[in-house]
Amino acid sequence: MFTKSCQYAIRAVIYMTEQKESLKNIGVKEMADSLQVPQQFLAKILQQLSKHNLISSVKGPNGGFYISEANGKVTLLDIVECIDGKAALSSCILGMPKCDSEHPCPLHHHFYGSREGLKTTLSSCEIGEMLNGKLC
């Protein structure tokens, strides 16, 4: 479904929203330890999210990652598309180069609904709302 990179990204973001009370920045080390994922690999992923302004970061002592006001509108769909690419949830399920409602692959109609439902669910998960306790 999702790549490992993407799973780590989602888990890290959820972890960050759960640590909201502690108003300090969260370091990669802490996250990697808590989530039990490889630290350097997670660092790359967080940097990618940060570079695309989905989360925020500060360098130096007491630095780390945090969720800014502007990041509040970011959704889980944004996270997924940033890490796995837009095609991950939109390209043909059978890998056909051209597949849409007019030129559908044999399974197009059977899976279009659940794919769209998935995207709807992901796009309804805003980081800002997750900070307030409600996940989706």
The answer to whether residue 121 forms part of the interface with its own copies (CB under 8 A) is: yes
Residues in a beta bridge with 126 = 75
The CA distance from 78 to 81, in Å, is 5
The CA distance from 78 to 27, in Å, is 22
From the list 25-33, 39-47, 54-62, 113-121, the region that binds its own copies by CB under 8 A is 113-121
**Choosing among its own copies, DNA, none, which partner's interface includes residue 39 (Cβ < 5 to 8 Å by kind)?**
DNA
From the list 25-33, 47-55, 66-74, 118-126, the region that binds its own copies by CB under 8 A is 118-126
Check: CB of residue 96 under 8 Å from CB of residue 90. Answer: no
Q: Could you give the dihedral angle defined by the CA atoms of residues 28, 32, 122 and 52, in that order, rounded to the nearest 10 degrees?
A: 30
**Choosing among its own copies, DNA, none, which partner's interface includes residue 118 (Cβ < 5 to 8 Å by kind)?**
its own copies
Residues binding DNA (CB under 7 A): 3-5, 8, 25-29, 37-41, 43-44, 46-47, 50-51, 57-65
Check: CB of residue 24 under 8 Å from CB of residue 62. Answer: yes
The CA distance from 107 to 80, in Å, is 23
The answer to whether residue 58 forms part of the interface with its own copies (CB under 8 A) is: no
Q: Which residues bind its own copies (CB under 8 A)?
A: 1-2, 4, 7, 10-11, 14, 93-95, 106-107, 110-111, 114, 117-118, 121, 125, 135-136
